[in-house]
């Protein structure tokens, strides 16, 4: 029987994904049909992005899974019409991209690169940065992306502490977990990287109280989600000098409104949610593997725990 696979992402994405998906699906040996439209009751798998027109899953009575192209699932996991297994994107180029982005922005702040790159009066400024092993880095969120970034930074010599919901043991990384563990993770941190998902439990993880725990003059780097930070508290911490600079890739409202104080703040770098993007070639392999597993009766990879929201 033909397996019907609906591509339900933003229409602009079809041109990028069509060929890589065919290439990956053909390798599975499954007889399939891949299209952007089917009668809903004939669909077996939904390749999905949360900005798709498909928001009501009720008519997809035969479908076996929703296969998300994004790592973040906050706008699909709580959908009350979704009763199917939901798999998120892990791999698909996301990990490599995030490691590059996080390492680049960490090194920018660690090495004080701005003073030399933006030096309009041509001053000969000799400022020797500390060694990486003298610069404690804390990563909030020690999942697929946080762990990969932590390992890359630890390999450069940074003392890395990671914080997660459940306890973990990772070679070369000091780990903390739970509410009490957050204080230990932030105490004395000089660079704080947020790679938590957007869930009710992670909202405002960085707030007036927790920002006060870091080393004075720390750097905040947020490629996670905008909701992880209390914006007013961060602005106050930047103005007081408790936080020296914030590099922010994600915001509560995107695109960031033109009158938002972050745009004009001299201690804030805004990047437009580009820290890491799913790449069609490797992502198609992940999708095809989950279709293969579904057809073989094997467990799906990267299932979202809907009770936790990630
Ligand atoms: P993941 O594998 O699900 O990891 C999430 C981590 O956060 C886990 O370590 C988890 O703890 C921890 N966590 C969740 N809730 C927590 C809580 N209440 N307290 C403490 N720790 C908590 O996710 P991922 O693939 O690494 O992705 C992380 C996030 O990055 C995504 O959700 C998305 O928002 C963001 N992202 C951004 C971009 C971009 O371009 N800016 C691209 C991709 C992803 P456990 O290990 O105990 O479960």
Instruction: Give the Å distance between the CA of 196 and the centre of ligand 1.
Output: 4
Please, which pLDDT band fits residue 288 given cuts at 50, 70 and 90?
very high
Instruction: Give the Å distance between the CA of 127 and the centre of ligand 1.
Output: 35
Cβ count within 10 A of residue 224: 26
For a substitution probing ligand 1, which of 100, 101, 141 has the most ligand atoms within 8 Å of its CB? 141
**Across 20-45, average pLDDT:** 98
For position 186, what pLDDT does the model report?
Answer: 98
178 close to 125: Cβ distance less than 8 angstroms: no
For position 211, what pLDDT does the model report?
Answer: 98
Positive or negative CA dihedral for 78, 84, 85, 91?
negative
CA 77 to chain centroid: 15
**Across 24-35, average pLDDT:** 98
Mean predicted lDDT score pLDDT of the chain: 97
Q: Cα(63)–Cα(250) distance, rounded to whole angstroms?
A: 32
Please, which pLDDT band fits residue 6 given cuts at 50, 70 and 90?
very high
Tens of pLDDT, residue by residue over 69-115, are: 999 999 999 999 999 999 999 999 999 999 999 999 999 999 999 99
11 close to 54: Cβ distance less than 8 angstroms: no
Q: Is 71 in the pocket of ligand 1 (CB under 6 A)?
A: yes
For position 290, what pLDDT does the model report?
Answer: 98
Q: 163 φ, ψ to 5°? A: -125, 135
Instruction: Give the Å distance between the CA of 278 and the centre of ligand 1.
Output: 16
DSSP 8-state assignment for residue 74: T
Q: Is 102 in the pocket of ligand 1 (CB under 6 A)?
A: no
Q: Is 146 in the pocket of ligand 1 (CB under 6 A)?
A: yes
Q: Is 91 in the pocket of ligand 1 (CB under 6 A)?
A: no
Cα–Cα distance list, 238 to 171, 216, 262 (Å): 33, 10, 11
For position 300, what pLDDT does the model report?
Answer: 98
For position 71, what pLDDT does the model report?
Answer: 96
Q: Is 94 in the pocket of ligand 1 (CB under 6 A)?
A: yes
**Which of 108, 260, 273, 293 is labelled catalytic?**
273
* DSSP E strands, the chain: 3-8, 32-35, 45-48, 65-68, 86-87, 137-140, 160-164, 173-177, 191-194, 218-222, 243-248, 268-270
Q: Is 202 in the pocket of ligand 1 (CB under 6 A)?
A: yes
Please, which pLDDT band fits residue 224 given cuts at 50, 70 and 90?
very high
Residue entry with tokens 């293969």: 292
Domains of the chain with CATH codes:
3-92+278-296 (3.40.50.720), 94-270 (3.40.50.720)
Alpha carbon nearest to ligand 1 atom 23, residue: 143
For position 249, what pLDDT does the model report?
Answer: 98
For a substitution probing ligand 1, which of 69, 95, 145 has the most ligand atoms within 8 Å of its CB? 145
Whether 225 is a known active-site residue: answer: yes
For position 75, what pLDDT does the model report?
Answer: 94
Whether 273 is a known active-site residue: answer: yes
Provide the 3-class DSSP secondary structure of residue 76: coil
Cβ count within 10 A of residue 97: 18
Tens of pLDDT, residue by residue over 123-182, are: 999 999 999 999 999 999 999 999 999 999 999 999 999 999 999 999 999 999 999 999
Please, which pLDDT band fits residue 199 given cuts at 50, 70 and 90?
very high
């Amino acid at each position: 029987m033909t397996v019907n696979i609906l591509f339900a992402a933003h229409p602009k994405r079809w041109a990028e994904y069509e060929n890589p998906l065919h290439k990956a699906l053909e390798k599975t040996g499954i007889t399939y049909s891949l299209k952007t439209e089917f009668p809903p009751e004939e669909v077996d798998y939904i390749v999905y992005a949360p900005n798709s027109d498909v928001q009501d899953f009720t008519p997809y009575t035969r479908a076996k899974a929703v296969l998300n192209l994004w790592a973040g699932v906050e706008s699909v996991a709580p959908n009350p019409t979704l009763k199917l297994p939901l798999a998120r994107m892990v791999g698909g180029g996301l990990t490599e991209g995030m490691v590059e982005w996080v390492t680049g922005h960490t090194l920018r702040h660690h090495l004080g690169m701005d003073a030399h790159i933006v030096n309009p009066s041509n001053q000969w400024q000799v400022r020797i940065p500390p060694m990486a092993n003298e610069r404690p880095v804390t990563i909030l969120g020690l999942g697929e992306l946080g762990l990969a970034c932590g390992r890359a930074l630890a390999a450069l010599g940074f003392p890395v502490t990671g914080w997660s919901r459940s306890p973990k043991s990772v070679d070369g990384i000091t780990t903390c977990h739970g509410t009490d563990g957050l204080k230990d993770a932030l105490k004395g941190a000089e660079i704080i990287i947020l790679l938590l998902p957007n869930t009710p439990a992670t909202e405002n993880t960085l707030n007036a109280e927790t920002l006060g725990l870091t080393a004075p003059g720390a750097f905040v780097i947020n490629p996670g989600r905008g909701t992880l930070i209390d914006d007013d508290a961060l602005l106050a911490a930047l103005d007081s000098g408790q936080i020296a600079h914030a590099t922010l890739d994600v915001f509560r409202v995107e695109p960031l409104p033109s009158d938002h104080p972050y745009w004009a703040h001299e201690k804030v770098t805004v990047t437009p949610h580009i820290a890491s993007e799913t790449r069609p070639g490797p992502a198609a392999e992940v999708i095809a593997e989950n279709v293969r597993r579904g057809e073989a009766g094997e467990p799906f990879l990267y299932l979202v725990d809907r009770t936790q929201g990630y």
